[in-house]
Amino acid sequence: MIALLQRVSQARVEVDGATVGAIGPGLMVLLCAERGDQAPQAEALLTKLLAYRVFSDATGKMNHSLTQVAGGLLLVPQFTLAADTRSGSRPSFTPAAEPAEAARLFDFFVARARACHATVETGQFGAHMQVSLTNDGPVTFWLTSRASS
């Protein structure tokens, strides 16, 4: 699985003009399931994401995790993170999980996140979303957990 984390002061997702998820300070995470990903990859990625130290301490160093600062978590499904862009001028999405499997893994990830963290909001799987955010820093990290070959 792939997660693109952005430390934000605020973020929201709209579908058809209505807000479906919004947070204040925290992490906005674009989330993608790849072919072969299963629950163990989702669990590993969530564990890493919640513990990843991207928030500043009193000295300005990134020493605090989302859990430590009790920030919001906005999870947004985005299959395009799995794009293969190595050749040509149009991406291939072959590395992405099939839509039904990706939806299942996204829902699993959200359920596990809600079981572990107080503030979890989401985008809407399969919808055309308008995502807005204020990247704080900017701070952006790419995290992955790969299925075993």
pLDDT at 45: 96
Q: Which residues are known to be catalytic?
A: 78-80
CA distances from 143 to 14, 59, 95, 124 (A): 25, 25, 16, 21
Mean per-residue pLDDT, 104-122: 97
CB proximity list for 132: less than 8 A, separation 6 or greater:
11, 12, 14
State how far the Cα of 131 lies from the Cα of 113, in Å rounded to an integer. 20
CB proximity list for 112: less than 8 A, separation 6 or greater:
42, 43, 46
pLDDT tens digits, one per residue of 53-91: 999 999 999 999 999 999 999 999 999 998 889 988 999
CB 4 within 8 A of CB 83: no
Please report the domains of the chain, with CATH numbers, ordered by start residue: 2-144 (3.50.80.10)
pLDDT tens digits, one per residue of 15-44: 999 999 999 999 999 999 999 999 999 999
CB 122 within 8 A of CB 112: no
How much is the pTM? 0.94
Mean per-residue pLDDT, 132-149: 88
pLDDT at 84: 87
Question: CA-based Rg of the chain, rounded to a whole angstrom?
Answer: 15
In the predicted structure, residue 94 carries a pLDDT above the cut 60: yes
